[in-house]
Chain A
Amino acid sequence: MNAVLTTISEYFVQSIATVLFLPLWVVLMIFINSSIPFLASKKMTLNLTLGSSFLGFVFAVFSLFYCIKNPQALVENNITWMSTDFQISFGVFVDNLSALMLVFTSLICFVVQLFSFGYMKKDESFHRFYIYLNLFMFCIFGFILASNVIQSYVFLELVGVITYLLIGFWYKKRSATRAARKAFIINRIGDVCLLIGIVVLVYFSVVFNSAQNMVTLSYSTLQFAVETLYSMVSDNAYLAIGVLIFLGIMAKTAQIPMQNWIVGTIEAPAPATALMNSFGIVAVGVYLCARFYPLFILSKSLMIFITFIGIVTALIGAYVAMSQNDLRKILAYSTSSQLGVVLVGFGVGAFSASIFCFVVHGVTKALMFLVGGALITSLKNEADIRYMGACREKLPLYAFSFFIGAISLCGALFSGFYSEASLFNSVLDFGNEFLSFGFLLFVFMSAFYLFRAYFLIFEGDKKDDISQDFSEWTIKCSIVLLSLIVIFIGYILRGCFGDFIFFISPDKLNYLNLVQNVLLLFVVFGAGFIAYQLYMAQNKTYIILKEKALNKSNLPYKLSYNAFYFDKVSDWFAESLFLRLCRFFDFIEKYVIGGIFVVLALTTRVFSYIFSRSQTGNVQSYVTYSLIVLSGVLAVVAVLYILGSLMGV
């Protein structure tokens, strides 16, 4: 039995490239399906898509199995993509990390696709949405299975493109297209920084490491490559390369100062938002960070930089989320903040805990966004939590699963407990008081905004008429499925993570430490209690406090509500500074460079006028001109001769 399983898993691993191309085939099929008017069938689209993602899941599970069976075994197949001074290959690369990511990505894709059927059924662009989802699957699988840095970059940008498409899915909405464009450009900025880093890496790999040319910067040799690099270049140069690469990761994971685009993801259809915020574009960043971990860890200052960015984003994101009124915005800022913490984990050297944390966050966030999306649709597209209330009675499933998600996300119970605790442990081990305090603050704020959202939406008075339950079976099914995953996944994974996913040597996750656990729980439930007092119990003292806090002129509130004015600053920068510069160039183009030609043309005209006017028609003037020219020439020649004879030449 075991032998058979091994054989099968080996087969699956070897043909893992199928996963990559299956979605493309599905895209083609959906395209054909949708363009034949009388045959177009939504069921068929759904089945094809689900089939492909399920098959992907199966492949992923068997690969994971293979990886568990053969620890530290790599599977790598490459073909040449581009060859010049150096060769760039495309290929698949399966190790523990990619197998694990593949499992979760395909799983979430499956769930989201299932959910989307109910959610998008009535939309006219149903097929288009599924095409996008499948393209997304292609890109993300390509990214996860990438065998080298350049391939990663290629698919990373493609994921950015798909994100752009998904955000701008409802392109008739101005806000959607604007958000899409913004997301794309900010990601692009990160991407090009990453590109510079990669170009420099390629350069060093070509120059110093010509034996490795065949597969430039393959992940299997990256460790060796970066060590060589570290020994070759100065610390500052190394730091610069690291920062450039990390800038790419920052853009993808929505870190300060490139976090603003994440709010734009709410413009996408809810399932797409869920995907993007869980195992979509943000996963790309985290995964890339894990892949480049060998590079980062060599430089102490780089790690400090990562930690710093992470914790600042975590705090700012959570702080901003506290005052938001749009449910989806709360969740979006929460994503940015949670990923900050994941990066903090990387920064303090807790590789496996970070990945664990990220996986748990992914599934949880997917659940919450799906619930949120279904909920908002049920409420006739009302997204403002101030106008919701008492939804628990009518929509118990949503309330329950949202609660599960919230509890898990703030690390109190279920999966979140394991991940948060192990991460906290690592942070404490790191031994920086500010960092530990920051982490606790983050946990407090996260718990606060999650409970605030829960209380405002599902408890309290009924504030608006709640419509009927938006109950497609696929929606319910997927939410239930995801809730179950959220509940159990941490428990399942808690043991294997340190053994299975680790950097260089296994490090056991340490999530059971009574003092710390109690501290965390205390903070979480403290926040929960405050939220309860503020939004449920209507306690007088708290109300006064709240009103004081929500005063329009209160700076902390304004900062939080307006997300620290990052939008405004960047807009000012783009509008006032950059566009002015461009207009200045335009001015130069029009009047200086264009003017040269005008002046030339004018000169020609003037000359032409002079010549033509000098042709007076009077023959005497002609003779005069001739004689003037002639006598002038004669005089010059004569003078020259005389001068020549005087000089004695």
Chain B
Amino acid sequence: MNFLSIPVLIFSPLIVALLILSPFFPNNEIKIRRFSKAFAILHFIYSTLFLLFFNPTNFGWSYQKELTFFNVSWLKTLGITATFGMDGLSLVFVILTSFLVMLAIIASKSMIRTKHRIYYPLILILQSALLGVFCAKDVFLFFLFWELELIPMYFLISQWGDRDSSAAMKYVVYTFFGSMLMLLGMLVLYFYSFSISGVLTADIESLSMSENVFAMWFQAFIFLCLLFGFAVKLPIVPFHNWLAEAQVSSVTPVSILMAGVLLKMGGYGIIRFNIGLFPEVFSNFAPLLIILGVVNLLYGACLAIVQTDIKKIVAYFSLSSMGLVLVGLGSLSEAGFEGAVFQMVSHGLIASGLLMLVGIIYLRTKTREISALGGLSQVMPICMYLGLIICLGAIGVPLFSGFPAGFMVLVGLLLSDIEPQAFLVCMIVLCVLGAVLSAGYILRLFHKTFFGSVLSQFRADTVQIDEDGNEITVVYPKRGITKSEIVVLSLLAFAIIFFGVFPNSVLDIFEVTSDIILDFMKV
């Protein structure tokens, strides 16, 4: 399909962002918003076209394109090329990104009241970076896009949130710290594979260390360097501290993108690099990863239970969910792997939904303290029902998208070759313990906000300060929720149910890719 070009997919948001930033674009809030919304919807449609023409049985990269500048490869002399490729795995994440960016932009209508001129371009630049990460076929291209996400995210967190820039700084420092170690690993990998093969190349596939040319400790060194970068992003427990703070201090659409897509970059990186390049080291480290995953799962859940800020609950829910991803990847089996990827997709939707709920509530009550909330079901019933669907998804009830993921991970864990079996059974027991805890804190969140006596400080109209410092009164419609919010929530709810009822619709897309990766590991 000629009209399906990955560079267009990746760079069009960037170009649109520059267009909005340029002095020629009318400085009109509504025009900017509508324009970016229209673009995001078009972009989503375009990305689904990739799915439409995607052949799930195709072996290897389905779409591939090298971007050249005046017919010269990007860094030709170093063997580094700007090659983009898309296989089933990338495609899943690309569509997720595009979908969530679209929702974030729709949600921005009620969440963002100031600085539109900069906000929408930043979101679109972020989208470009994310898409680039998921499509990059070259190690350093991957790194470039990985870093590119940093600055827009910094501003999105610090400028439209709680005005607490320390959280944004924390995010930047953590991420950059991780990515620096990642860069170290990449560089060492790149040069040492050069010294073995004699070919300077940074293509992800050709860097693979399947043959045992290097000492194991050396491979493990690189592996850990890379893992560190992804661990900060995913996040894995000792490196997760940025997540809750960044989530809490950023505005809803940004948190949606953060929980929905940014965390997935970590998982994607682990799949592409740690599994794809170091199958043997990975299988040695797998038990460790499973333990880390379980720690994530339980630690996140335990923290979520005692939080009093509802957004923090959601943040720790994300932490907990990502633990399951790690467990699935560590299980080294097809079911576990697919479960992990499915979990990432599903968590993207569910966490976005929860964050959207929290955002809607916060906008109207001006508080996120759980003790100060209650009785919202009486003022915004529609929100409650949609919220119920999302919460059930978060708990992992069957026929919602959370269940197939968890189930596959659990079975995959048992199916893995790791010895001893008792260890695996223990891990399974701990995982399901996490499932019970999730029911606890999600229901707590749901009940304490929606049920109980009516809230006194709930206001259907909210005073906000616009760019010029004037007060604008925003009146919410009768049911307590605006149309754009309903659209976002119901799209998410629909997606959650759809993927729960038809998990194969996602699994089929990347089945072949996961086969390739796992076959590679078994060889």
Residue among A81, A82, A594 making CB contact with B241, cutoff 8 Å: A594
Residue among B303, B403, B411 making CB contact with A86, cutoff 8 Å: B411
Q: Knowing that A85-B333, A199-B428, A202-B411 are A-B contacts, what are 17 other residue pairs whose CB atoms are under 8 Å apart, sorted by A's residue number?
A: A81-B504, A82-B503, A85-B334, A85-B411, A154-B403, A157-B397, A158-B397, A158-B399, A160-B397, A168-B451, A181-B447, A185-B439, A189-B436, A203-B415, A585-B302, A586-B306, A596-B241
Query: Are B302 and A203 within 8 A (Cβ)?
Result: no
Chain A residues positioned under 8 Å from B484 (CB to CB):
none
Residue A188 is within 8 A (CB to CB) of chain B in the complex? yes
Query: Are B411 and A184 within 8 A (Cβ)?
Result: no
Asked whether A81 and B503 contact (CB < 8 A) given A199-B410, A202-B411, A203-B411, the answer is yes
Query: Are A203 and B414 within 8 A (Cβ)?
Result: yes
Q: How far is the CA of A459 from the CA of B483 in the complex (A)?
A: 58
Q: 13 pairs across A/B with beta carbons < 8 Å?
A: A153-B398, A154-B399, A171-B451, A172-B375, A172-B378, A181-B444, A185-B440, A188-B439, A189-B436, A192-B432, A195-B410, A585-B299, A585-B306
Query: Are B302 and A82 within 8 A (Cβ)?
Result: no
Q: How far is the CA of A589 from the CA of B319 in the complex (A)?
A: 13
Q: Shortest distance in angstroms between A190's beta carbon and chain B's nearest beta carbon?
A: 10
Residue among A188, A193, A200, A582 making CB contact with B306, cutoff 8 Å: A582
Residue B435 is within 8 A (CB to CB) of chain A in the complex? yes
Chain B residues positioned under 8 Å from A196 (CB to CB):
410, 428-429, 432
Q: Return the CB mask of B326-347 against A: 1 if under 8 Å, else 0.
A: 0000000111001100000000
Chain A residues positioned under 8 Å from B334 (CB to CB):
84-85
Residue of A nearest to B433 (CB): A192
Chain A residues positioned under 8 Å from B335 (CB to CB):
84-86
Q: Shortest distance in angstroms between B315's beta carbon and chain A's nearest beta carbon?
A: 11
Residue of B nearest to A203 (CB): B414
Residue A579 is within 8 A (CB to CB) of chain B in the complex? yes
Asked whether A83 and B504 contact (CB < 8 A) given A157-B397, A185-B439, A192-B432, the answer is yes
Asked whether A157 and B408 contact (CB < 8 A) given A171-B377, A188-B439, A579-B305, the answer is no
Asked whether A582 and B397 contact (CB < 8 A) given A199-B411, A199-B428, the answer is no
Residue A177 is within 8 A (CB to CB) of chain B in the complex? yes
Contacting B at CB under 8 A, from A53-86, are 80-86
Q: Shortest distance in angstroms between B244's beta carbon and chain A's nearest beta carbon?
A: 8
Contacting A at CB under 8 A, from B473-523, are 503-504, 507, 511
Residue B117 is within 8 A (CB to CB) of chain A in the complex? no
Residue A174 is within 8 A (CB to CB) of chain B in the complex? yes
Residue of B nearest to A87 (CB): B504
Residue of B nearest to A194 (CB): B432
Residue among A85, A177, A594 making CB contact with B415, cutoff 8 Å: A85
Asked whether A154 and B398 contact (CB < 8 A) given A84-B408, A203-B415, A579-B306, the answer is yes
Q: How far is the CA of A596 from the CA of B238 in the complex (A)?
A: 10
Q: Shortest distance in angstroms between B195's beta carbon and chain A's nearest beta carbon?
A: 28
Query: Are A185 and B443 within 8 A (Cβ)?
Result: yes
Chain B residues positioned under 8 Å from A596 (CB to CB):
241
Q: Shortest distance in angstroms between B257's beta carbon and chain A's nearest beta carbon?
A: 23
Q: How far is the CA of A153 from the CA of B511 in the complex (A)?
A: 25
Query: Are B241 and A593 within 8 A (Cβ)?
Result: yes
Contacting A at CB under 8 A, from B251-305, are 299, 302-303, 305
Residue A40 is within 8 A (CB to CB) of chain B in the complex? no
Residue among B303, B338, B440 making CB contact with A586, cutoff 8 Å: B303
Chain B residues positioned under 8 Å from A597 (CB to CB):
170, 173-174, 241
Chain A residues positioned under 8 Å from B433 (CB to CB):
192
Contacting B at CB under 8 A, from A532-590, are 578-579, 581-583, 585-586, 589
Asked whether A161 and B397 contact (CB < 8 A) given A85-B335, A185-B443, A596-B241, the answer is yes
Q: Shortest distance in angstroms between A593's beta carbon and chain B's nearest beta carbon?
A: 5
Chain B residues positioned under 8 Å from A155 (CB to CB):
398
Residue A298 is within 8 A (CB to CB) of chain B in the complex? no
Query: Are A583 and B411 within 8 A (Cβ)?
Result: no
Chain A residues positioned under 8 Å from B85 (CB to CB):
none
Contacting A at CB under 8 A, from B416-463, are 425, 428-429, 432-433, 435-436, 439-440, 443-444, 447, 450-452
Residue A206 is within 8 A (CB to CB) of chain B in the complex? yes
B interface, CB within 8 angstroms of A: 170, 173-174, 238, 240-241, 299, 302-303, 305-307, 333-335, 338-339, 375, 377-378, 392, 395, 397-399, 403-404, 407-408, 410-412, 414-415, 425, 428-429, 432-433, 435-436, 439-440, 443-444, 447, 450-452, 503-504, 507, 511
Contacting B at CB under 8 A, from A151-186, are 153-155, 157-158, 160-161, 168, 171-172, 174, 177-178, 181, 184-185
Chain A residues positioned under 8 Å from B377 (CB to CB):
171-172
Q: How far is the CA of A200 from the CA of B299 in the complex (A)?
A: 25
Number of A-B contacts (CB under 8 A): 127
Asked whether A184 and B504 contact (CB < 8 A) given A196-B432, A583-B306, the answer is no
Chain A residues positioned under 8 Å from B444 (CB to CB):
181
Residue of A nearest to B406 (CB): A195
Q: Shortest distance in angstroms between A258's beta carbon and chain B's nearest beta carbon?
A: 12
Chain A CB within 10 Å — which of B170, B238, B333, B447 has the most? B447
Chain A residues positioned under 8 Å from B307 (CB to CB):
586
Q: How far is the CA of A203 from the CA of B375 in the complex (A)?
A: 45
Q: How far is the CA of A82 from the CA of B450 in the complex (A)?
A: 34
Q: How far is the CA of A288 from the CA of B1 in the complex (A)?
A: 51
Q: How far is the CA of A178 from the CA of B334 in the complex (A)?
A: 40
Chain A residues positioned under 8 Å from B412 (CB to CB):
84-85
Query: Are A171 and B450 within 8 A (Cβ)?
Result: yes
Residue among A82, A172, A586, A593 making CB contact with B404, cutoff 8 Å: A82
Query: Are B414 and A199 within 8 A (Cβ)?
Result: yes
Chain A CB within 10 Å — which of B173, B377, B440, B451 has the most? B451
Residue of A nearest to B447 (CB): A177
Query: Are B398 and A174 within 8 A (Cβ)?
Result: no
Q: How far is the CA of A181 from the CA of B503 in the complex (A)?
A: 28
Q: Return the CB mask of A239-266 against B: 1 if under 8 Å, else 0.
A: 0000000000000000000000000000
Q: Shortest distance in angstroms between A408's beta carbon and chain B's nearest beta carbon?
A: 36
Residue of B nearest to A600 (CB): B173
Chain B residues positioned under 8 Å from A189 (CB to CB):
436
Asked whether A80 and B504 contact (CB < 8 A) given A154-B399, A181-B447, the answer is yes
Chain A residues positioned under 8 Å from B398 (CB to CB):
153-155, 157-158
Chain B residues positioned under 8 Å from A193 (CB to CB):
432
Chain B CB within 10 Å — which of A153, A178, A188 has the most? A188
Asked whether A581 and B451 contact (CB < 8 A) given A195-B432, A203-B415, A206-B415, the answer is no
| 5 tightest A-B CB contacts, nearest first | A154-B398, A192-B432, A203-B414, A85-B335, A177-B451
Q: Shortest distance in angstroms between A592's beta carbon and chain B's nearest beta carbon?
A: 10
Q: Shortest distance in angstroms between A142's beta carbon and chain B's nearest beta carbon?
A: 9
Query: Are A593 and B306 within 8 A (Cβ)?
Result: no
Contacting B at CB under 8 A, from A258-298, are none
Chain A residues positioned under 8 Å from B511 (CB to CB):
84
Asked whether A582 and B303 contact (CB < 8 A) given A82-B504, A171-B377, A174-B451, the answer is yes
Q: How far is the CA of A185 from the CA of B451 in the complex (A)?
A: 17
Chain A residues positioned under 8 Å from B333 (CB to CB):
85
Query: Are B414 and A181 within 8 A (Cβ)?
Result: no
Q: How far is the CA of A202 from the CA of B339 in the complex (A)?
A: 15
Chain A residues positioned under 8 Å from B429 (CB to CB):
196
Q: Shortest distance in angstroms between B131's beta carbon and chain A's nearest beta carbon?
A: 27
Q: How far is the CA of A171 from the CA of B448 in the complex (A)?
A: 11
Chain A residues positioned under 8 Å from B403 (CB to CB):
154, 157
Asked whether A184 and B443 contact (CB < 8 A) given A153-B398, A597-B170, the answer is yes
Q: Shortest distance in angstroms between B170's beta carbon and chain A's nearest beta carbon?
A: 6
Q: How far is the CA of A157 from the CA of B338 in the complex (A)?
A: 23
Q: Shortest distance in angstroms between B44's beta carbon and chain A's nearest beta carbon?
A: 26
Q: How far is the CA of A594 from the CA of B239 in the complex (A)?
A: 10
Chain A residues positioned under 8 Å from B404 (CB to CB):
82
Chain B residues positioned under 8 Å from A188 (CB to CB):
395, 435-436, 439
Chain B residues positioned under 8 Å from A174 (CB to CB):
451-452
Query: Are A192 and B435 within 8 A (Cβ)?
Result: yes
Q: Shortest distance in angstroms between A355's beta carbon and chain B's nearest beta carbon?
A: 26
